């Protein structure tokens, strides 16, 4: 959320009962504790379970083929005959009804307004206060709010949220329940409503910026006056501009203008944030204070030339992500998202597409703070021939306008948001009325936010070039098919093309198949139900990364790309989706479900991270049984050339060249033969100087466990997470890349075990048991901080190897 409310006095939160104090002019509290949950339809006998929000009721499993078995033809993937589809939505039990309830204690309601804000509720939410239904919101991904003032009374008030997920409503794992935060906002009757401000920066130069703030004020009578005063705070918190004016209410919005000298501009490299602090007074009494966080930056999309951020040519080096957090499911957690962004930024990513739904507010806030550009996208279906028959298509006509309005009003103050997408591969792109639906959505976005362009991810390139759909968008976005970019550029009026979704290369971390062939547009499957980490396999509609790199490099009109996907996700296990149980999670990710980077990470890093060099060797070098067999070695590197050595013997120099797409971006030794020992690569710069080297060794007998945490300390807020990577090493500390033993975790002290995963798309072990099998020699365990400072102790044990232990201070 872009608005940052600042509490004036503390609010008491007790288990089960939330006490609201009334002395503050505005008070927001996030309702995490004191909830109860039950699955199914509840009755007087229902045993309610105590839960903490955010909560995903389905992530606890168990996995089962029958949870989401479907007999369908996936038209979108070019299928014409029905087959048994397994694991499409993660094989988890999210379908059905569930209810949550809590009690809020409100001492006095006179002159106050109470609003519940739901960041997202999956799905078909009915919100009841003291038994009275006050709101219904079907789309599980969108944020919505409900004014509950008339239904609350002094004392204890019951809040209940009933939810229902239908089958065949999604193409991926949606999660279930109150999986995002719920907030209670307590204000004076006269107040700035939820998402009630809009900041734009009409003029941005190095020397000055003009800032315009639009403010809605609720609760005033016609003709009533209010004083509105705003201070603009710099990133360091200094007041750099201010303004106040008397506002006479006649149903309109108020606005104020500011001049900020020498603005600190927002960009991925320097994500500087300002705050507009607005105070509303009536009859000399302050009735509301409201913070709007924003950034100052300029964006221009220039035909033929590209996208310019603050005047600087910038290509989107983006990834698409679904919203689930692997073993944590859909239950949002800020530090899990932060971990994802840290990994992506180190890879050189500067943008994320929230495919294909509204994000959690925490993601948008983190992108603002950490410097990642966002393309926010609401829908996977419009009204025509929805891909998921019980999904958003059934609501589109009645709800699209409300859903778009909430999305844009919620996020339009975020400097990270650089573009809106109105849909993904919607069948309307070729169906009747598609251009009308497009125009309705695009016009609505423009009305709510005239400062950013609109795109849409299109895959039916022939149809959309022909029927006016692609030409109607601000920015045409194409999913895959880079071979058609040139034709699209020639035909379309925009003279800019976005790779709204690219690659969909498939690979399983640390798994390699021989021999290697580059199989583009080919459904390659293997008996082990894994895809090869040589990054040579894709699906019939998709390709390996190299051609997309070439498009970015060679075409000025290509403004960049969003790779499918940054992280593996639950569901869509292509190419193992047809009667291929137990596969139930994707292999499209550059990073796996356990948040562990695959080799592909380093291919993108070698192109996209301009600050720190990349030199990465694949495959691993533990190939008992392959002695004497051809075992190709690839090196993903930012250096132009390198020499490879096996046990000291040179295998020759390779230099990037234009002979094939792969030779442009990878160094490949296709004829190397396996012998145990050491593989070393020496990288050369343009002038032929040896500038870096890297080596891997064949590991010996497994000897001890190794633990690597992603954090040095945690916050004692009960919500902070640490990710431990667990591996096995030989006695000389060489990691054993093939080990698959069961490891057991124990967390005590100032925190608790939260979840585990290993990135294996076929693994059915529950995420919540404190044990996991290693996959390709690694697994991840996640622990959560408690609320009391101290030391969190993590210990891992396994048969046949020495244990390992790590301590993390919790402050």
Q: Kindly tell me which of 425 and 760 has the beta carbon lying closer to ligand GAL.
A: 425
Q: How far is the CB of 480 from ligand GAL (least distance, A)?
A: 7
CA distance 706 to 727: 5
For ligand GAL, the binding residues in 560-589 under the rule CB under 6 A are 564, 572, 588
Q: Nearest distance from residue 603's CB to ligand GAL, in Å?
A: 18
Output the smallest distance, CB 29 to ligand GAL, in A: 36
Nearer of residues 356 and 703 to ligand GAL, judged by Cβ: 356
Residue 364: enclosing H or E segment and its boundaries? helix 361-370
Q: What is the H or E stretch that residue 485 is in? A: helix 485-491
Of 512 and 588, nearer to ligand GAL (C-beta) is: 588
Which residue, 184 or 506, is less far from ligand GAL as judged by CB? 506
Report d(CA 116, CA 31) in Å as an integer: 10
Q: Mark residues 444-483: x for contact with ligand GAL by CB under 6 A, - for none.
A: ---------------x-------------------x----
Token pair recorded at residue 202: 């009409």
Tell me the three state secondary structure of residue 471.
helix
Between residues 385 and 656, which has the closer beta carbon with respect to ligand GAL? 385
3-state secondary structure of 132: strand
Cα 479 to Cα 458: distance, rounded to the nearest angstrom: 6
- Residues written for the chain: 811
Residue 479 or 785 having the CB closest to ligand GAL: 479
- The CB-of-319 to ligand GAL minimum distance in angstroms stands at 13
Task: Assess 501 for contact with ligand GAL (CB under 6 A).
Answer: yes
Strands 125-129 and 417-424: unpaired
Rounded to the nearest whole angstrom, what is the least distance from the CB of residue 462 to ligand GAL in the complex?
16
Omega of the bond leading into 582 within 30 degrees of 0 (cis): yes
Taking residue 574's Cβ as centre, other Cβ atoms within 10 Å add up to 25
Structure tokens of 434?
A: 């598609």
Active site residue 425: yes
Residue pair 421/454 in contact (Cβ under 8 Å)? The answer is yes
369 is catalytic: no
CB 88 within 8 A of CB 169: no
d(CA 187, CA 184): 10
Task: Spell out a b/e string for 647-680, using b for 16 or more CB atoms within 10 Å of the CB, else e.
Answer: eeeebeebebeeeebbeebbbbbeebebbbeebb
Q: Does 437 bind ligand GAL (CB under 6 A)?
A: no
Q: How far apart are CA 371 and CA 493, in angstroms?
A: 31
Judge if the upstream peptide bond of residue 565 is cis by omega within 30 degrees of 0: yes
Q: Which one among 504, 508, 561, 762 touches ligand GAL, defined by CB under 6 A?
A: 504
Q: CB 501 → ligand GAL: shortest distance, Å?
A: 5
Residue number, 306 or 575, with CB nearest to ligand GAL: 575
What is residue 54's DSSP assignment? S
Q: Which is nearer to ligand GAL, 362 or 572 (CB)?
A: 572
Cα(541)–Cα(459) distance, integer angstroms:
9
Residues in region 351-380 near ligand GAL by CB under 6 A: 356
Q: Which of 223, 283, 277, 288 is nearest to 251 (CA)?
A: 223
Choose the catalytic residue: 264, 377, 409, 501. 501
- Least distance to ligand GAL, CB of residue 588, Å: 6
Paired strand residues for 582: none
| Residue of minimal Cβ distance to ligand GAL | 504
Nearer to ligand GAL by Cβ, of 254 and 501: the residue is 501
Interface with ligand GAL includes 381 (CB under 6 A)? no
- Give least dist CB 778 to ligand GAL, A: 25
The CB-of-539 to ligand GAL minimum distance in angstroms stands at 6
Give me the residue label for tokens 């925190």.
Answer: 751
Beta strands in 283-315 (DSSP E): 285-294, 299-302, 306-309, 312-313
Q: Which candidate in 25, 164, 409, 425 is catalytic?
A: 425
Cα 626 from chain centroid (whole Å): 40
**What span, in angstroms and rounded, lies between the C-alpha atoms of 373 and 380?**
21
Q: Give me 255's structure tokens.
A: 């606005």
Cβ nearer to ligand GAL, comparing 195 with 478: 478
Smallest gap from Cβ 421 to ligand GAL, in A, equals 11
For ligand GAL, the closer of residues 196 and 566 by Cβ is 566
Residues 530-549 as x/- pattern, contact with ligand GAL by CB under 6 A: ---------x--x-------
Non-local CB neighbours of 370 within 8 Å, separated by 6+ positions: 271, 338, 341, 342, 345
**Best CA proximity match to 230, nearest among 291, 297, 295:** 291
Strands (E), 216-344: 225-233, 239-248, 254-261, 274-282, 285-294, 299-302, 306-309, 312-313, 316-321
Give backbone dihedrals phi and psi of 335, rounded to 5 degrees, phi first. Answer: -75, -25
Binding to ligand GAL in span 386-425, by CB under 6 A? 424-425
- CA terminus-to-terminus distance, the chain: 26
Minimum distance from residue 179 beta carbon to ligand GAL (Å): 20
Nearer to ligand GAL, 455 or 504 (CB): 504
Using CB under 6 A as the binding criterion, the count of chain residues that bind ligand GAL stands at 12
Closest approach, Cβ 76 to ligand GAL, in A, equals 6
Active site residues per annotation: 425, 501
Interface residues with ligand GAL (CB under 6 A)? 356, 424-425, 459, 479, 501, 504, 539, 542, 564, 572, 588
């Amino acid at each position: 959320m872009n608005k940052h409310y600042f509490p004036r006095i503390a609010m008491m939160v007790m288990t089960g009962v939330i006490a609201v104090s009334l002395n503050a002019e505005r008070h927001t509290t996030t309702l995490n504790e004191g909830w109860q949950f039950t699955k199914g339809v509840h009755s007087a006998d229902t045993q309610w379970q105590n839960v903490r929000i955010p909560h995903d009721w389905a992530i606890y499993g168990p996995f089962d083929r029958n949870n989401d078995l479907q007999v369908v033809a996936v038209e979108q993937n070019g299928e014409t005959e029905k087959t048994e589809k397994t694991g499409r939505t993660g094989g988890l039990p999210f379908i059905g009804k569930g209810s949550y309830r809590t009690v809020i204690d409100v001492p006095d309601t006179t002159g106050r307004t109470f609003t519940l804000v739901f960041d997202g509720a999956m799905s078909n939410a009915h919100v009841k206060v003291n038994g009275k239904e006050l709101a219904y919101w079907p789309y599980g991904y969108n944020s919505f709010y409900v004014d509950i003032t008339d239904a609350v009374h002094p004392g204890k008030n019951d809040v209940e949220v009933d939810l229902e997920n239908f089958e065949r409503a999604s193409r991926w794992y949606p999660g279930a329940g109150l999986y995002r935060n719920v907030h209670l906002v307590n204000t004076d009757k006269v107040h700035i409503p939820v998402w009630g401000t809009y900041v734009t920066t009409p003029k941005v130069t190095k020397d000055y910026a003009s800032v315009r703030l639009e403010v809605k004020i609720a609760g005033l009578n016609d003709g009533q006056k209010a004083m509105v005063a705003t201070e603009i705070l710099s990133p360091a918190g200094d007041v750099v501009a201010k303004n106040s004016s008397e506002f006479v209410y006649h149903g309109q919005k108020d606005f104020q203008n500011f001049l900020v000298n020498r603005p600190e501009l927002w960009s991925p490299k320097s994500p500087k944030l300002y705050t507009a602090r607005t105070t509303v007074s009536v009859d000399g009494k302050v009735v509301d204070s409201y913070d709007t966080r924003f950034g100052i930056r300029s964006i221009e999309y220039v035909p033929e030339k590209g996208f310019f951020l603050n005047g600087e040519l910038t290509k989107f080096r983006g990834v698409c992500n679904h919203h689930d957090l692997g073993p944590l499911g859909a239950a949002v957690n800020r530090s899990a998202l932060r971990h994802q962004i840290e990994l992506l930024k180190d890879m050189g990513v500067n943008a994320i597409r929230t495919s294909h739904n509204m994000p959690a507010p925490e993601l948008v806030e983190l992108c603002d703070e950490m410097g990642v550009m966002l393309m926010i996208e609401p829908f996977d279906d419009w009204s025509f021939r929805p891909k998921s028959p019980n999904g958003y298509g059934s609501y589109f006509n009645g709800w699209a306008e409300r859903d778009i309005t909430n999305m844009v009003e919620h996020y339009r103050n975020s400097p990270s948001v650089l573009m809106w997408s109105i849909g993904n591969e919607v069948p309307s792109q070729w169906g009747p009325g598609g251009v009308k639906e497009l125009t309705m959505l695009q016009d609505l976005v423009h009305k709510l936010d005239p400062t950013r362009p609109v795109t849409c991810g299109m895959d039916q390139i022939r149809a959309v070039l022909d029927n006016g759909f692609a030409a109607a968008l601000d920015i045409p976005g194409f999913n895959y098919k880079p071979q058609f970019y040139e034709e699209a550029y020639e035909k379309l009026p925009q003279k800019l093309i976005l790779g709204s979704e690219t690659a969909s290369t498939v690979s399983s971390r640390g798994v390699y198949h021989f021999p290697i062939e580059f199989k583009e547009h080919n459904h390659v499957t293997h008996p082990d139900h894994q895809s090869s980490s040589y990054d040579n396999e894709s699906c019939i509609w998709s390709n390996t990364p190299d051609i997309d790199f070439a498009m970015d490099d060679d075409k000025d009109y290509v403004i960049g790309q969003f790779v499918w996907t940054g992280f593996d996700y639950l569901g869509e296990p292509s190419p193992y989706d047809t009667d291929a149980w137990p596969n139930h999670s994707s292999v499209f990710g550059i990073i796996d479900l356990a948040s562990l980077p695959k080799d592909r990470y380093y291919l993108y890093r070698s192109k996209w991270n301009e600050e720190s060099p990349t030199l990465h060797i694949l495959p691993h070098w533990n190939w008992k049984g392959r002695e004497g067999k051809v075992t190709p070695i690839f090196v993903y590197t930012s250096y132009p050339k390198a020499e490879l050595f096996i046990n000291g013997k040179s295998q020759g120099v390779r230099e990037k060249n234009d002979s094939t797409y792969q030779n442009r971006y990878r160094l490949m030794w296709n004829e190397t033969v396996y012998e145990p020992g050491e593989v070393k690569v020496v990288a050369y710069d343009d002038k032929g100087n040896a500038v870096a080297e890297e080596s891997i060794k064949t590991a010996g007998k497994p000897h001890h466990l190794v633990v690597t945490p992603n954090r040095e300390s945690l916050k004692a807020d009960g919500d902070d997470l640490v990710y431990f990577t667990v591996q096995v090493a030989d006695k000389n500390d060489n990691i054993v890349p093939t080990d698959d033993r069961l490891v057991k975790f124990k967390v005590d002290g100032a925190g608790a075990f939260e979840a585990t995963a290993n990135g294996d798309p076929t693994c059915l072990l529950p995420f919540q048991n404190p044990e996991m099998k290693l996959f390709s020699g690694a697994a991840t365990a996640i622990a959560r901080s408690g609320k009391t400072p101290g030391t969190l102790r993590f210990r891992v044990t396994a048969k046949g190897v020495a244990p390992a232990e790590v301590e993390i201070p919790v402050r």
